Structure 1
Amino acid sequence: MMKRPLWRLGAISLLGLFAGVLTTCTTALASSVERHHFDAPTLGQAYPYTVYLPDGYDDDSDTVYPVVYLLHGSFGNERDWLAKGNLQQTADRLISAGHIPPSVFIMPGSHSWWVDGHNQPARSAFFNDLMPHVEEHYRVGTERSMRGVGGLSAGGFGALNFALERPDLFAAVAALSPASYAPYPPSNSSANRHPSFLNDQGEFDRQLWEQLNYTAHLEDYRLKVTPRPTVERSEVPPVPLYISAGRRDEFDAEFHARQLRQAMERIQPHAVNLDLYPGGHTWRVWRASLPAALTFMFQYVEPPKPAENV
């Protein structure tokens, strides 16, 4: 019997699955990492991003690859996932071991919490500028089944919101220690001082937070992904969600992650995974949970395929 690749296996326990793989895999892959920027009309300025291209990627080939967008945290930048998150090494090892397929990773930079906030329209720029740019310049799939989105902290807040708002665009989402606080961010959260949420008086805009937090998207999302009584399936499938958090997170991320899981399980009871790690709101936790997050996502995001099959 032919074995299926691990990224196509069914639901599995992901926490700690790859500790041995990531330390013993020695196959060298010729992946590449590039930094670019382009003029973004929505922002009225340059939009920076870093891209990971897998071993064997060729602009002239007939293969199209899945693409995963990884969002950084508050006051971060497009270099964080590489410099601090070990994205290239982790992706190389997971691909070499067969746990995920060769894929393109896009790591954009933003001065926002990935929202159309008081300082810049980051949410609109992501959908209207970044995604079209990526799909024009890289050999990536342009349908839902070949896209994923993930992020850490404020990037987890953004990734979750993107998936809830546009479930027609993403096959899976990963939120690592998401800053998706309900009803409001804790007093020590940078959301309280970030330009995205500061009004003209320099005060935290609670009404804007309520409008942009995941809780504001849940009902519309439920209606989109829940089958109507007269049909077996909804037109838009639910977006499977991976969540992780550190047990000693200073922003009480475990509590908020459990609250998020409970809310999402009411809508999609068999498509939510929560892993808890020792540690706080740190890169140590995010590096540890990244392999599980990616492998979860690639249970749903499709592998590379010939262009004629797209």
Structure 2
Amino acid sequence: MKLPHCSYRCHALLTALIGWLTLSTHSLASEVEHHQFFSPTLGYDYPYSVYLPDNYDAQATDAYPVVYMLHGSFGTDRDWVARGNLQQTADRLIRAGFIPPAVYIMPGSRSWWVDGHNEPARSAFFNDLMPHVEATYHVGQERRLRGVAGLSAGGYGALNFALERPDLFAAVAALSPASYAPLPPRNSSAWRHPAFLDEQGQFDRELWETLNYTAYLEEYRLSVTPRGTEEEGDFSPVPLYISAGRSDVYDAEFHARLLRQAMERIQPNDVRLDLYPGGHTWQVWRASLPAALNFLFQYVGQPNTVAATEETPAQEVSAEESPDEVSG
């Protein structure tokens, strides 16, 4: 029987769709698992999600690089996979040969990744999570094999972790970091987050200023800056990737530029800022994630942590918008 013209067209579209779905399903050979373990620091179970690359081999000769991905304010350990397309993005970049197979750890926290008024999240990360991960998975236990990244409040946390402990991380990525100086904007969730609320339920300004990245800059500078012709810094700088939406309701572009300016005084060739159309949304973070991962793996997993060859200017990249803003 001769099919009408539209049927041929529908048949072709259906065939193409089936092929695309088959290819997409086949391509997601990585695994994402959700786990928890008892944290002595917290006094309760610490949740985390883990991405394991295709053909993950716990007995491989070489350990895998590991990247810690921190969620935003009031987020969960599942956000990067459920909303950030972490699995699809990592799979695609690995298949294309842009980044190596790596393990991604996505921890959950009730805090802003600080030892705040509600929980000692920072201490739990360093004292409990990292040792647990390194004992459970075949990941590197040296600086060159570790990276840290985060969005919004997670960007705040990732930046602080790298500045406080440059001995632990080869690179850091902060997407729309909620690293506001000197104080967060009035519409930021920091003003109502339990991490920064004192016993009277008031925002603790002193705690914010004590824990913000600005408090780490001088000690970080001294640890990574050579002093004299024969004396080197304790560690090489931790290269920093920053992204922000140009219509961010928390004025993230302004604060990202302040952050870049502060960091360029210390490490002028190791800072990159990308600017995207859009707000404080997952569209912006999904759009900037490939660039962030590509940046991280210029350093993470390399034989030695090296500085970028030249400064990369701020870039503008298109990103579609939808109303899914997240507290920052």
TM-score past 0.5 threshold: yes
Question: Is contact 1:113–1:154 with CA below 8 Å preserved after alignment?
Answer: yes
What SS does the corresponding residue of 2:112 show, helix, strand or coil? coil
Matched AA of 2:225: T
Q: Specify which structure has the bigger relative contact order, considering alpha-carbon pairs within 8 angstroms and separated by 6 or more residues.
A: 1
* Matched residues, number: 281
Matched AA of 2:112: W
> Shift of residue 229 of structure 1?
1.0
The CA deviation string for residues 93-114 of structure 1, in whole angstroms up to 9 with x for no partner, is 0000011000000000000000
Question: Residues of 2 paired with 1:26 and 1:238: CA distance?
Answer: 40
Question: Residues of 2 paired with 1:86 and 1:26: CA distance?
Answer: 14
Cα distance change on mapping 1:273 and 1:25 into 2, 3 Å: farther
What SS does the corresponding residue of 2:51 show, helix, strand or coil? strand
- Report the equivalent of 2:128: 129
Question: Residues of 2 paired with 1:174 and 1:231: CA distance?
Answer: 31
Which structure 2 segments of 5+ residues have no match? 1-22, 304-328
> Shift of residue 61 of structure 1?
2.8
Question: Is contact 1:141–1:147 with CA below 8 Å preserved after alignment?
Answer: yes
- Report the equivalent of 2:204: 205
CA RMSD of aligned residues (A): 1.5
Question: Residues of 2 paired with 1:135 and 1:103: CA distance?
Answer: 13
What SS does the corresponding residue of 2:259 show, helix, strand or coil? helix
- Report the equivalent of 2:274: 275
Matched AA of 1:34: E
What SS does the corresponding residue of 1:36 show, helix, strand or coil? strand
The CA deviation string for residues 15-48 of structure 1, in whole angstroms up to 9 with x for no partner, is xxxxxxxxx9997252101000000000000000
> Shift of residue 235 of structure 1?
2.4
- Report the equivalent of 2:54: 55
Question: Residues of 2 paired with 1:30 and 1:150: CA distance?
Answer: 23
Q: Confirm whether residue 165 of structure 1 aligns to residue 164 of structure 2.
A: yes
**Structure 1 residues 181-192: aligned runs within 5 Å:** 181-192=180-191
Question: Is contact 1:101–1:303 with CA below 8 Å preserved after alignment?
Answer: no
- Report the equivalent of 1:20: none
- Report the equivalent of 2:142: 143
Structure with higher Rg: it is 2
What SS does the corresponding residue of 2:68 show, helix, strand or coil? strand
> Shift of residue 231 of structure 1?
2.4
- Report the equivalent of 1:236: 235
What SS does the corresponding residue of 2:140 show, helix, strand or coil? coil
- Report the equivalent of 2:98: 99
- Report the equivalent of 1:255: 254
Question: Residues of 2 paired with 1:273 and 1:39: CA distance?
Answer: 37
- Report the equivalent of 1:292: 291
What SS does the corresponding residue of 2:27 show, helix, strand or coil? coil
The CA deviation string for residues 40-89 of structure 1, in whole angstroms up to 9 with x for no partner, is 00000000000000011122333310000000000000000000000000
The CA deviation string for residues 121-175 of structure 1, in whole angstroms up to 9 with x for no partner, is 0000000000000000000000000000000000000000000000000000000
More deviation in 159-168 or 57-66? Answer: 57-66
What SS does the corresponding residue of 1:231 show, helix, strand or coil? coil
Question: Is contact 2:28–2:88 with CA below 8 Å preserved after alignment?
Answer: no
Matched AA of 1:228: R
Q: Which runs of 4+ in 1 moved over 4 A?
A: 24-27
Question: Is contact 1:94–1:100 with CA below 8 Å preserved after alignment?
Answer: yes
Which structure 1 segments of 5+ residues have no match? 1-23, 305-310
